[in-house]
Each structure stands twice: as structure tokens, then as C-alpha cells.
Amino acid sequence: MSFKSLLKKKLEATLSEKELELLPRGYQMIGDIVILNLKEELKKREKEIALAVHELVPYAKTICVKTGGIKGEYRKPQIKKVWGNGTETVHYEHGAKFKLDVVKVMWAKGNINERKRIASLVKKGEVIIDMFAGIGYFTILMAMKGPKVVYAIEKNPEAHHYLVENIKINNLDNVKALLGDSKELALKCEKADRIMMGYLPEPKDFLETAFKCLKEKGTIHYEGIKSKEKAYELYETVKIKGNAQGYKCKLLNAQFVKSYGPKRWHIVVDVLCKKISSTHLERKKISAKETIKD
């Protein structure tokens, strides 16, 4: 039987027929905590539903309910505890441990394959800057691939706290966790082979900083929300900013991570950037002048 069918059976004596039909078809599991997404009509029944879910998922220590989406600059989830013994947990993914409080910091379940993909691109000895590290969503898995160092920058003090915890519990000695604004702190790091810009909405205002922190040749992973038809615009944004900073850019890949609704996708573009030599720039200037004269 499906989860919804089992849940309906548990609650058939408590809920009306209409309410039974509105029950969720599934749930999200973060560590040993269940997150439910309930219809507005079921909010007044959340405690009964939580108890029934616990009977179906007895190994869950806590049942929570979403009250909204990710909110604000610090990407705080709108989640509340309905039943259980606390909201801190340890989540296991791709061989790594992620400690977090589900009420205080976000966990994006839809990015599971993207976290693995980005980590698979990392080469030993690289210098990496993760400009929006959070609790270490990308940092931890990248660091496990053996780069020289990952500079993990996070502005949210609560997320930074768990970032530090996750570096410890994964026994990593090649991560430097930095608390503050990446526009300032990234400039104090070593020049990077790879820069992760995992932040939504699209972090346009941070691209100039990213190019200032990049080696003469390196890769930028840049995120945004677009329709599939306009995915190339993300690359164009990086390319224009890169050209202004003296870099030639090449699109390596456009990854469609997850749907954000009708014709809206979370997209990541991997862009290889190479510094244009001063000689080449001078030739371009001369060529441009000759064209104007002609």
C-alpha cells in the first residue's frame, strides 16, 4: 500500500472524507526527522496527522510541518515542530555527514545529484572558493575529493556554526570556514581554480568579486532560475562580466537541477574562464581602432 493509503487508514476515524483526500502522498526525511507538506485545510489537524505518521515511521524522532518556503537573505526555512524530541539531526548523503537544525537552516533535497556532480569535477590539489557555503552542502563533498583547500564562506551565523561542526564530524583538514560577506572575505583567500556560486536568486552582484579571486584559468559554477529556453542567458551574464575583467569564457555545461514551477528551472552553468594576455588585449584595441578609422 502507498504511504497515503496507509495514512488514510490510520486517520479514517478522525478526519472527514474531504480531509482524507487532502493527505500528503509522501514526506521528506532529513536524518531522523520527518518533514510534512500539508494543505492549508489540514493545518488544524496537524497534530493528529503527525502522530499517525510517527506510527508509520517509528524511527523518526520528530515530525515537522512546512509553513512556507525558504525566506530571506539567510535562506531560513519556514518549518515548525509538531511532535517529537528536537529539530537537530545528522543527515547522511554520498558518504558524508551533515549536522543541522531543520528549523534554523535549509536543506535542499532536490539538489542531491547536483552536490554529487559538482564534487565529481574537483581535482586533487585545487584551490576552491565556495562563496555561499551554508552548512557545507557543496563544501564537504568537494573537500572529500582531495583539493588543496576549500575556502567556505557563509554570512549566516547559524549556518556557519553547522558548517564548522560538519568539517569536524567529517574529519576534514582542508577546509577553512569563514564567517562574513564573501564580497570581502573571498578577496583575502588564495586565488582559486574553482569558484562555487550556489545561491538563489542569481548572485549577479558577486560575479565581479568571483573574477577577482580566480586564477588565470579556472571554472565558475553559477546558479539561477530561468526557463530552459533562456538557460544560455546565465552563461551570457558570466561571459559579459568575465570579458570586462579580462577573461575569455567558454560554456562547459548547463545543468537543469530541478523544476521551480511552470517553465522555471533551477539551472547551473559551468563556465571555464581564461585570462586574456595583455598582448592579446592590445591587439584587440588596435584592431578596433583600425575598424573605426575604416
Q: Between residues 37 and 111, which one has the greater pLDDT?
A: 37
Q: Which of 53-62, 70-79, 90-99, 166-175 has the lowest mean pLDDT?
A: 70-79
Distance CA 115, CA 137 (A): 7
CATH of the domain at 164: 3.40.50.150
Dihedral angle over CA of 157, 160, 165, 169, nearest 10: 170
- Which residues constitute the domain of residue 39? 3-16+23-86
pLDDT at 214: 98
Is position 98 within any domain?
A: no
Examine residue 237 and state whether it is found in any structural domain, yes or no.
Answer: yes
Q: How confident is the model at residue 259 (pLDDT cuts 50, 70, 90)?
A: confident
Q: CB neighbours of 18 closer than 8 A, spacing ≥ 6? A: 41
Local confidence band at 263 (pLDDT 50, 70, 90 cut-offs) = confident
Number of domains the chain is built from: 2
What three-state secondary structure class fits 134? coil
**Same domain? 79 vs 159:** no
Decide if 285 is inside a domain.
no
**Domain match, 42 and 170 both:** no
Q: What does pTM read for this prediction?
A: 0.90
- Examine the domain organization and report whether 174 and 147 are in the same domain: yes
Given a cut of 50, whether residue 211 has pLDDT beyond it is: yes
Pair 118, 259 in one domain = yes
Please indicate, yes or no, whether residues 111 and 214 belong to a single structural domain of this protein.
yes
Residue with cell 537552516: 105
Residue 238 has pLDDT above 80, yes or no: yes
Is residue 27 domain-resident?
Answer: yes
Residues 127 and 143: beta-carbon distance below 8 Å: no
Measured over the CA atoms of residue 100, residue 106, residue 111 and residue 116, the dihedral's sign is: negative
Same domain, yes or no: 111 and 61: no
Does residue 291 lie within any of the structural domains? no
Instruction: Tell whether 140 and 259 lie within a shared domain.
Output: yes
- pLDDT (average), residues 160-170: 98
Looking at the structure, tell me whether residues 65 and 196 fall in a common domain. no
pLDDT score at 181: 97
Residues 109 and 62 in one domain: no
Question: Based on the number of CB atoms within 10 Å of its own CB, is 198 exposed (0-12), middle (13-18) or buried (19 or more)?
Answer: buried
The answer to whether residues 126 and 251 belong to one domain is yes
